[in-house]
Structure 1
Amino acid sequence: MPNSSKIPEKWRGEQKAAKAVQVAFDVGFEVQTVIRKEALDCMLSPSDRVRQILGLNVTSKPKRPRLSISLTADDFAALGEAYDIDVNNRVAIKQKAAENLIHYVESNREM
């Protein structure tokens, strides 16, 4: 371990965080589903909800509600074609995809 006195003060917190160990729980589909739904209802990440349930501190800031996916060049090409948008105009494709998601939810709401 490097001498902590040689580590800049602003990085010492990161050194402590680097000592954390990621733990995965094999708890089954139903337990995972319940915890993920609770996390969503509480505007938390599933990890933060698990920390709450276990009585641990939750230090992360509230999450900005957004959805994210990874898109390949082929995905952009498919969406560009579907939306009749130039494949190189990724901002317009992203905006149209967001509109598509909003429309999906609005048209599928239970009355």
Structure 2
Amino acid sequence: MTKYKVPDKWSASVKAVKAVQVAFDMDEKVQKEIRKAAVEANLSPSDQIRMILGLPVNKKPKRPRLTVSLSQDDYQILADKYGIDVESQLEIKRKLMDELVDFVDKN
């Protein structure tokens, strides 16, 4: 088997490729408290778990964002709701962002 040298620009990724993700099936209360602590500390749940375990945490700030997966059916429902053509996905995203901001403002 031939060994290849990893390009320098990829060397930082080698450790990440070798990392193994560990999933925890824990009591809902434990999961909720860890998630809550992570939000309050502006961390991801994964980083919160690393902090609890005394492992190093990447201090590089992450871009704060929320995600949701939208199917074509979801886009159709939102297009109908907002009175927009289903092909105008960028406009649909703007409208749903406005709705999320309104939700926060009302609470």
Name the residue aligned to 2:103.
104
Equivalent pairs, count = 107
In structure 1, the residue matched to 2:11 is 12
**Alpha carbons of structure 1 residues 7 and 18: separation in structure 2 relative to 1, 3 Å:** same
In the alignment, the residues of structure 1 paired with residue 95 and residue 102 of structure 2 have an alpha-carbon distance, to the nearest angstrom, of 10
Does residue 3 of structure 1 match 2:11?
Answer: no
- Give, in angstroms, the shift of residue 60 of structure 1: 5.2
The residue type paired with residue 3 of structure 2 is N
TM-score (norm 2): 0.90
Partner amino acid for 1:52? M
Match of 1:58 in 2: 57
Runs of 5+ unmatched residues, structure 2? none
Q: With a CA cutoff of 8 Å and minimum separation of 6, indicate the structure with the bigger relative contact order.
A: 1
The structural deviation recorded for 1:2 is 6.3
Q: Can you give the 5+ residue segments of structure 1 that lack an aligned partner in the other structure?
A: none
Question: Residues 24 and 60 of structure 1: is their aligned pair in 2 closer, same or farther, counting only changes over 3 Å?
Answer: farther
TM-score, reference length from structure 1 = 0.87
Alignment correspondent of 1:72: 71
Q: Deviations over 1:38-85 (max 9, x none)?
A: 111111110000000100000152222221101111111110100001
Distance 2:38 2:12 in 1: 27
Q: Counterpart amino acid of 2:8?
A: E
Secondary structure of the structure 2 residue equivalent to 1:56: coil
RMSD: 1.7
Percentage of pairs with the same residue: 50
